[in-house]
Amino acid sequence: MTISIRGYAAQSASTPLGPFQFERRDARADDVSIEILYCGVCHSDLHTARNDWGFTSYPVVPGHEIVGRVTAIGPEVTKFQVGDHVGVGCMVDSCLSCDACDDGEEQYCRHGLTQTYGSPDRIDGSMTHGGYSESITVKERFVLKIPAGLDLRGAAPLLCAGITTWSPLKHWQVGPGSKVAITGLGGLGHMGLKLAKALGAEVTLFTRSPGKEGDARRLGADAVVLSTDKAQMAAVSGRFDLIIDTVPYVHDLAPYVPTLARSGTIVLVGYLGPLEPAVNSVPLILGRKAIAGSVIGGIAETQEMLDFCGAHGIASDIEVIAMADIEAAYARMLKSDVKYRFVIDMATLKA
Ligand code: NAP
Ligand code: ZN
Ligand code: ZN
C-alpha cells in the first residue's frame, strides 16, 4: 500500500521550497520503513533545488543525509529490527550485478545508481523523494546502522559529507605520515579535516575565508593556508600527497598544483563541470601529479566509516534548524556561513 506523507519540495528552480504531500511507493519484501528524525542539508540539495546542474526533475524533495528509526520491516529483511536507529545516504538502489556493484562500489554502478531523490525507482518507475519528509522506504541493502553512542543529529551528515571525504582518504591510502589538504571549510570540508586527522594524517586547510582559522584548528587542521595569499601558497609548495577539493563552483586549480608533492593527487568532489581556466599538463607531467574525481562511497565503505566514527566519537558540527527555515539555511550556505552543517529536526515538519 502506498502511503501519503508530508515533505518539503521545490516546484521549480525559482520557487522557494514549501510543504508538499506525496505518496511513498509500496513497501517490498526486502524494504525497511523508516520514520525520519533528522536530515542534513547538503550543498547538492541546493544545487538540485535550483537546477544548477540542469537535470532536476520537479517537484523534488531533497535530502540525502537521513537518520531515523525503523518502523516496519519486510519479511525478507534480516539485518534490521523495528526501533533500530538507521541511516540512508545518497543512493537507495543500483543494478547489484555489474562489476562495480560486485566490488561494493555501488556508487559507480555501470547502469547508474538510483539516487535517494530525483531518480526513477528501478521497479515501478516512480520518482524517488528524499529526506526532507516524514518517512522513507528503502531496500535493506542500502540502509546503514548508526552506531550506539553517536549523537543522531551529528551523525546525519556522515551519510553524505562523511562518506564523500572518507572514500578518497581510504582510496588514496591516507594514514600516519600522509600530508593531506582539504579545500573549502563547509560541510564536506569540516568532515574531511576530522576524518583525515583521525586517520593519522598531517592536515592542512585551504580556505578563501579569513576568520575560519580557529575553527579549522579545533576541527583537526595542523595548518591553515589562505588560498588567495600567494606567499602562503608558496610556503606549502611540493607538500601534499592528497588534496580533497570540496569547492562547489568553478575555480582555478593552477595555484594548487604546485602544492602537490611528487605523485600527489587533487581529487575533486565539489564542482561538476568543465575546468576553467584550462589546466596546464606540464606541471602534472613533470611531477607525475594527477587531478581525479570521486563520488560518495559504497555501502560497505559507508558502514565502515560510520563504525570508525562511532569508535572515535566523531560526528558533524551542526546547527539544528526547523523545516520551515530551509530557505534561510540555503541563503547562508551560499555565503559560506554554515558551522558546519545544517540539520533539519523533522519533528518540526509535523508541528
Ligand atoms: P558547503 O557547506 O557550502 O561548503 C563549500 C565550501 O567551499 C565553502 O564553505 C567555502 O569554504 C568554499 N567555497 C564556496 N564557494 C566557493 C567559491 N565560489 N570559490 C571558492 N571556494 C568556495 O558545501 P558542501 O555541502 O560541503 O558541498 C561542497 C560541494 O560538494 C557541493 O558542490 C556539493 O554538491 C558537492 N558534493 C559532492 C559529493 C560527491 O560525492 N562528489 C557529495 C556531496 C557533495 P571556505 O570559506 O573555507 O573557502
Ligand atoms: Zn550530499
Ligand atoms: Zn551495478
- 7 part of a folded domain: yes
Tell me how far apart the alpha carbons of residues 211 and 194 are, in angstroms, rounded to a whole number.
19
In a domain, 300, yes or no: no
For residues 15 and 13, give the distance between their C-alpha atoms in angstroms, rounded to a whole number: 6
Judgement on whether residues 83 and 195 belong to the same structural domain of the protein? no
155 and 187 together in one domain = no
Q: Considering the chain, what percentage of its residues have pLDDT values greater than 70?
A: 100
| Domain, as residue range, for 242 | 162-293
Domain count, the chain: 2
Ligand nearest to the CA of 110: 3
Residue 173: CATH number of its domain: 3.40.50.720
Residues 287 and 328 grouped into a single domain: no
The answer to whether position 6 is within a domain reads: yes
323 lines ligand 1 (CB under 6 A): no
Give yes or no: residues 134 and 184 share one domain.
Answer: no
Residue with the smallest CA separation from ligand 1 atom 29 is 270
Give 1's pLDDT tier (boundaries 50, 70, 90): low
Name 10's Cβ contacts closer than 8 Å, sequence gap at least 6: 16, 17, 48, 49, 50, 56, 58, 59, 60, 62
Reduced to 3 states (helix: H, G, I; strand: E, B; else coil), residue 195 is: helix
Asked if the structure places residue 100 within a domain, the reply is yes
Ligand nearest to the CA of 341: 1
Chain segment 221-241, per-residue pLDDT in tens: 999 999 999 999 999 999 999
DSSP for 93-133 reads E--SSSHHHHTT-GGG-TT--EESSSSB-TTT-PBP--SSB
Cα 127 to middle of ligand 1, angstroms: 26
| pLDDT in the model for residue 94 | 98
Residues 267 and 345 in one domain: no
CATH number at residue 49: 3.90.180.10
Amino acid of residue 135: S
In a domain, 305, yes or no: no
Say if residue 41 is in the same domain as residue 145.
Answer: yes
Average pLDDT estimate for 41-69? 98
**Residue 251 beta carbon below 6 angstroms from any ligand 1 atom:** yes
Q: Are residues 8 and 156 in the same domain?
A: yes
- Given pLDDT bands bounded at 50, 70 and 90, which one contains residue 26? confident
Give the chain's end-to-end CA distance (angstroms, integer). 25
The mean of the pLDDT values for the chain is: 97
Strands 135-139 and 31-41: antiparallel
Q: Are residues 24 and 148 in the same domain?
A: yes
The answer on 190 and 120 residing in a single domain is no
The pLDDT of residue 293 is above 80: yes
Whether residue 350 is predicted with pLDDT greater than 90 in this model: the reply is: no
Q: Do 25 and 102 lie in a common domain?
A: yes
136 and 174 within one domain: no
Whether residue 302 lies inside any domain: the answer is no
43 Cβ closer than 6 Å to some ligand 1 atom? yes
Report if residue 301 sits inside a domain.
no
Number of Cβ within a 10 Å radius of residue 249: 11
Give 3-17 pLDDT, tens digit per residue. Answer: 899 999 999 999 999
Best CA proximity match to 186, nearest among 51, 318, 56? 318
Identify whether residues 110 and 155 lie together within a single domain: yes
